A and B are shown apart, each in its own frame.
Chain A
Amino acid sequence: MTAKTLAVFVKEALDALRDRRSLTSALIYSLFGPLVMGMALSAVAKRGSEGTLELTVAGAERAPSLVRYLEQNGVEVRRPSVDVRKAVRAGDLDLALVVPGDYAEDFRASRPAGLELVHDGSRSDVRGPVRRVQSLVERYSGQVTAQRLTLRGISPQVAQPVRLAEVDVSTAASRAALALGMLPIFLLMAVFIGAMNVAIDTTAGERERGSLESLLVHAVPRSDLTVGKWMAASAFNLLGVALTVLVAVLVLRWGRLAELDVPLALGTGDALRILALLIPLALFAPALQMLIALFARSFKEAQTYLSLLMFVPTIPGFLFAFQRVDTEPWMHTVPVLAQQVLIGGLLRGEPIDPAAQTVAAVATLAAAAVCLFVTARLLRHERIVLGR
C-alpha cells in the first residue's frame, strides 16, 4: 500500500465519519436487523401455544350449556357491546359466535340449531382461533348427540363410524429452527448495507459534487485512489457486519428464544466462524458497489441501483430458507451463494469444511479484485469522469 492510498483512505474515512448518513446506514441496520429477526422468531415460537381464547358470543343467554362447555375448555366468553358483524368487518374483533333467536327452540325440539361463526377469512392470523372454536363446537355437538342417542337407548358409538385423531409433532424449537433459516439472509443483507453510502459518496457523489475532477488533477495513480476509497468503505462495512453478528448473538441468547429452550442459540465460537465467513464478502460488496455507483448518473440513481443490489443476494437465501437444496461444490465459488451455503450448514450444526471455506474466500476476494481493477480503469474514461 502506498502513502497516497493511505492518504485517500484517511480522508474518505474521516469524511464518512462526519457524515451522519454514512454512519446511520452502517449502524442502524446492524442494531435493528437482528432485533427484528429476534421478534419474528419469538413470535413464531409463541404461536400455537394453547392459552385462553377470548370469544365474543352474541345471544349467549340462549345457549347456556354451550357457553358453559366453552368456558370449561379455556374460552373466556364475552358479551358484545356492538354489532359483531360490523366489528369483525372493521377488524375490531377477531371473531365472534352468534346465537340466533330461534336457537333455543330448535335445540329443545332436537332440530339442528343454527350457530354463526363470524370471522374475516382473509386474515391468516385468526385461522388458529377459528379452527379452535370450530372444533370446540363440533365436540360439543358430538357430546349432545351422544346424550340424545343414549336417552333413546342407542349406543353413541353407532353414530361415530370413524374417529380421526390429530398428532402435531411441531414444537416451539422446531418452529424457531425453521425461522432461524432466515438468519443467513439477515447477515448477507448486512454485508450489502454497511458500506452502501460510503461507496456511493466516494464515486457517484464525488462526481455529482464536482470534486472528482479536482481530485483527478493530482498526480495519483487511479489504482491508489480506487484502493483507498475501497478500504474506507470496507472499514465501514466490517464494522457494520461485526456489529450485526454481535447483536444477533445477543438477541438469540437473551431474547425469548432462550426461554423457549431453542437448541440453536449461537455460541461465541459459531459467531466467530460466521464472521470469518462474512469478512471476504464484506470486502467484496463495497468493491462491487463502487463499480456500479460509478456507472450511475447521480447519487440518487446510484442509491436506487444499490438498493436493488441489496436484494439480489437474498434470492438464494429465500430459496434455501423454504426448501432444502443440496450443496454442490461449484456453489463455493460463487460469492454470496458460497457464504449462504456455508452459514446454513453451520446453523444446522454441520462442521465447516476448511477447503470449501478457502475456496469461498479466494473466489470472493478475486471477484473483489476484478471489481477494483475495472473501477480503476473506468476512472480513466472521459465519459465516466465527466459523467456524460
Chain B
Amino acid sequence: MIEAQGLHKRFGKTVAVEEVSFTARDGCVTALLGPNGAGKTTSLRMLYGLLRPDGGKALVDGADAGGDPLAAQRRLGVLPDAPGLYGRLTAREHLLYAARLQGLSAREAGERAAALIERLDMKGIADRPSAGFSQGERRKVALARALIHDPQNVILDEPTNGLDVPSTRAMRGQVRELAASGKCVLFSTHILQEVAAVCDRVVILARGRVVADGTPEELLARTGEANLEDAFVRLIGTEEGLGA
C-alpha cells in the first residue's frame, strides 16, 4: 500500500505540490492523472524516496520514504520518467545489476532475471547491448528491472509515454496482471483512454493539488458528465495541457 499524506514540495519559490493526499491499495491499479506540470512526477519522486517532502509523509507499506528511503525502496519497484539504460550493457546485465543492488544473491538474481525475460517476452533482446533498443524494448527492460525483487508495490511514471500501439497494449496488460496478482500499482498518466482501460481508481492532480479522487464511475457521477474527458476538463477547471 502506498500512501501520500499531505505532501508538500517547493523548488525555490515555486510550489510544485501542495497538500497532496491519496492512497493506492493492494490489488488495485491507481492512476495519478493530470495535465503536464500538475505535479505528478514530483509526487511520485517523493513516494519513491528521490525527493524529500517539505511537509507531509510518503509511506510505502508504512515505511517513511522521506525519513528512511531505503526501507521504502526495498518494498518498491520503480519505473521512472526516463528508462535510463546503460548502452553498453545487455538487457540481462541490467536485470542482474538491479537484482544485486536490491540485495538478491547471485543465484536468485540469475533466476529472477531469467523468469522476467520469459514473462516479458524479452528473449530476443536479452543478450544484446541496449544501445540499439527501440523505445518499447527500453521500457520493457526498465519494467523488468523494477520488478526484479518482486516488490509488493510498483510505481510507474508515464509507462506508455512514447510507445507504439502494440507496446502500449503489452504494458497495460502487464499493469493489470500485476494488480490481479495482488500488487499495489500506482502509475501516472495524462492519457484519458489509459485510465478507462486499466484503472480501478483515479486521483486527479491539477496545479499541485488533488482535485478529485475516486473510481472512474464516481467521477462521472460527481460531475454529471457522460464521458471521462468532459469530467476531467470540468474537474481541472481548464482545457490546458490536454494534448493527448
Contact = CB atoms under 8 A, between A and B. Distances in A.
Interface in B1-35: 11
A179 interface: no
Nearest to B76: A217
Interface in B109-154: 129, 142, 145
B70 A221 contact: yes
Given A19-B88, A382-B51, A385-B50, A214 B100 contact: no
Interface string B53-94: 000000000000000011101101010111111111100010
Contacts of B142: 214
Interface in A37-58: none
Contacts of B69: 219
Contact of A8 (B87, B101, B102, B145): B101
Contacts of B89: 11, 14-15
B98 interface: yes
Given A8-B101, A14-B89, A220-B101, A214 B83 contact: yes
Contacts of B101: 4, 7-8, 215, 218-220
A4 B78 CA distance: 18
B52 A211 contact: no
Interface in A297-338: none
Nearest to B85: A211
Contacts of B102: 218-220
A292 B52 CA distance: 24
A215 B100 contact: no
Contacts of A14: 89, 93
B88 to A, nearest CB: 4
B232 interface: no
A213 interface: yes
B42 to A, nearest CB: 10
Contacts of B80: 213-214, 217
Contacts of B159: none
B49 interface: yes
A18 interface: yes
Contacts of B187: none
A217 B49 contact: yes
B112 to A, nearest CB: 14
Given A4-B101, A7-B100, A211-B84, A217 B48 contact: yes
A212 interface: yes
B78 A214 contact: yes
Interface string A1-44: 00110111001001100110000000000000000000000000
Contacts of A8: 101
B82 A213 contact: yes
B103 A219 contact: yes
Q: What is the interface residue range for chain A against chain B?
A: 20 to 34
B100 A18 contact: no
A377 B129 CA distance: 32
Nearest to A4: B101
Contacts of B76: 217
A210 interface: yes
Nearest to A228: B101
B97 A11 contact: yes
Nearest to A7: B100
Given A15-B86, A218-B98, A213 B103 contact: no
B100 A4 contact: yes
Contacts of B84: 209-215
Nearest to B12: A388
Contacts of A382: 50-52
Contacts of A6: 100
Contacts of B51: 382
A214 B82 contact: yes
Nearest to B146: A217
A57 B86 CA distance: 68
B142 to A, nearest CB: 7
Nearest to A213: B80
Contacts of A4: 100-101, 103
Interface of B: 11, 48-52, 69-71, 73-74, 76, 78, 80-89, 93, 97-98, 100-103, 129, 142, 145
29 contacts: A3-B103, A4-B101, A11-B89, A11-B93, A14-B93, A15-B89, A19-B88, A209-B84, A209-B87, A210-B83, A211-B85, A212-B84, A213-B80, A213-B81, A213-B82, A214-B83, A214-B145, A215-B84, A217-B49, A217-B78, A217-B80, A218-B73, A218-B98, A218-B101, A219-B73, A219-B74, A219-B101, A219-B103, A221-B70
Chain A to chain B: the 9 pairs with minimum beta-carbon distance, closest first: A7-B100, A211-B84, A210-B82, A219-B73, A217-B78, A214-B84, A218-B101, A18-B88, A210-B84
Given A4-B103, A15-B88, 7 more contacts: A7-B97, A7-B101, A11-B86, A18-B88, A209-B84, A217-B76, A219-B71
